[in-house]
């Protein structure tokens, strides 16, 4: 029997069984936003700032690394760029980077994982100028390839990560926080196990752990309230849960049934924890949710990649109207490994339809 426990929460399934356009999406349209030589990858949004990685040279064609891949390819020459959506000005924030990176933006700060003198850390700069600082050790767990293919977790000018260390041959797992402006680090909590994923939103840090048990699988999502220190369980299920995404006061994730050691792709659904303290199923019964990438959460909507018609389509759920809609057209060529970005009533994704990977915008 399936076990889904939501601590101090109710569960409701409000997803539409059909597939309709939402009034919130009908007034919007998709168009090219950034078209440049090279490939525009891994967009992220915060307010009026858009940041991405501009892949200028891909010497061996191996720079599009899946989230479950090994170390990032070292032949990917490119730079981090920003777009001020108020003025339309594009800025270059980094020197040429010899590997593919996934930058993030929070408030007016841009950050990406980098190395200095062989040590991992975060490179940080203002979104409107090229003054790159470096915070050693920030944002890295130091465990296998956990960090190599995921974005740094940032919120409200802070970075969050789970750190793995050893003391007298015993593992130590710590939930960490650092100020992106100063690099000052703080231990938030000691953990029993290294989390599989992290997300931060609304004065909370959330993480999930997956366990193999004698009678099957177990996945637990926990949340730490930063202001009160209160720790609670958001979800406890015998399904596989993954793809944490958060924004504002909404947390979202994917869930699927384990069969023969793998997630049944037809079983993957999207769930979200709303501001009212309830967990809802978000994706409809007709949805075919991609197993790759986190759920993207915008201001009042969720975004994921859907393949019900064969190719990947950028799909959104209006949280107010509870309706799904395709945002990208059938002509779009979209990678399952490059996440869209959402915020400020818009969604931006990488589209390969014109031969290079350009950035397309859907504005509500």
Quick: pLDDT tens for 158-183. Answer: 999 999 888 888 889 999 999 999 99
For residue range 335-362, list pLDDT tens digits in order: 988 999 998 889 999 999 888 899 999 9
Q: Is residue 21 pLDDT above 50, yes or no?
A: no
Q: What is the CA radius of gyration of the chain?
A: 20
For residue range 86-107, list pLDDT tens digits in order: 999 999 999 998 888 899 999 9
pLDDT higher at 326 or 23: 326
3-state helix, strand, coil in the chain (%, to 5): 0, 50, 45
Residues 199 and 251: beta-carbon distance below 8 Å: yes
Residues 110 and 104: beta-carbon distance below 8 Å: yes
> What pLDDT does residue 26 have?
64
> What pLDDT does residue 136 have?
94
pLDDT higher at 136 or 1: 136
CATH number for the segment(s) 4-363: 2.120.10.60
The chain-wide mean pLDDT, for the chain, equals 86
> What pLDDT does residue 24 have?
58
DSSP code per residue over 57-116:
EETTS-----TT-SSPPTTEEEEEEEEETTT--EEE-SS-EES----EEETTEEEEEEEE
Which residues are 29's β-sheet partners?
A: 363
Q: Is residue 68 pLDDT above 60, yes or no?
A: no
Would you tell me how many other CB atoms lie within 10 Å of the CB of residue 88? 8
Stated pTM of the model: 0.88
Average pLDDT score over residue span 103-113: 95
> What pLDDT does residue 263 have?
87
> What pLDDT does residue 217 have?
84
CA within 13 Å, CB half, 363: 7
Predicted confidence band of residue 364 (pLDDT cuts 50, 70, 90): confident
Across the beta sheet with 153-155, the strand order is 153-155, 158-167, 170-179, 185-191
> What pLDDT does residue 19 have?
37
Q: Is residue 186 pLDDT above 60, yes or no?
A: yes
Q: Is residue 286 pLDDT above 80, yes or no?
A: yes
Q: Is residue 2 pLDDT above 80, yes or no?
A: no
Would you kindly state where each structural domain of the chain is located, as residue ranges?
A: 4-363
> What pLDDT does residue 85 have?
93
Q: Does an H or E element contain 26, and which? A: helix 23-26
């Amino acid at each position: 029997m399936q076990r889904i426990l939501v601590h101090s929460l109710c569960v409701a399934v409000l997803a539409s069984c059909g597939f309709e356009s939402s009034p919130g999406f009908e007034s919007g349209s998709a168009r090219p936003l950034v078209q440049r030589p090279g490939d525009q990858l891994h967009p992220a949004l915060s307010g009026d700032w858009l940041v991405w990685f501009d892949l200028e040279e891909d010497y061996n064609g191996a720079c599009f690394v899946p989230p479950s891949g090994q170390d990032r390819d070292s032949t990917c020459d490119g730079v981090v760029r920003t777009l001020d959506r108020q003025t339309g000005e594009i800025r270059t924030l980094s020197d040429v980077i010899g590997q593919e990176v996934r930058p993030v933006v929070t408030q007016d700060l841009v950050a990406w994982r980098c190395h200095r003198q062989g040590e991992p850390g975060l490179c940080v700069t203002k979104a409107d100028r090229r003054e790159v600082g470096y915070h050693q050790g920030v944002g890295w767990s130091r465990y296998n390839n956990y960090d190599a293919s995921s974005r740094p977790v940032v919120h409200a000018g802070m970075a969050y990560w789970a750190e793995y260390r050893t003391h007298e041959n015993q593992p130590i797992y710590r939930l960490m926080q650092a100020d992106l402006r100063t690099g000052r680090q703080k231990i938030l909590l000691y953990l029993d196990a290294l989390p599989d994923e992290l997300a931060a939103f609304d004065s909370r840090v959330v993480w999930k752990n997956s366990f193999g048990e004698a009678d099957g699988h177990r996945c637990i999502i926990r949340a730490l309230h930063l202001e009160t220190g209160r720790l609670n369980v958001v979800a406890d299920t015998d399904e596989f849960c993954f793809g944490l995404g958060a924004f504002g006061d909404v947390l979202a994730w994917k869930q699927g049934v384990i069969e023969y050691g793998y997630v049944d792709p037809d079983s993957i659904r999207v769930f979200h924890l709303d501001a009212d303290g309830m967990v809802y199923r978000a994706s409809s019964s007709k949805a075919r949710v991609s197993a790759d990438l986190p759920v993207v959460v915008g201001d009042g909507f969720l975004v994921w990649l859907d393949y019900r018609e064969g190719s990947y389509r950028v799909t959104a759920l209006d949280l107010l109207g509870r309706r799904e809609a395709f945002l990208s057209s059938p002509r779009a060529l979209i990678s399952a490994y490059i996440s869209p970005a959402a915020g400020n009533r818009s969604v931006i994704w990488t589209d390969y339809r014109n031969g290079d990977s350009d950035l397309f915008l859907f504005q509500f």
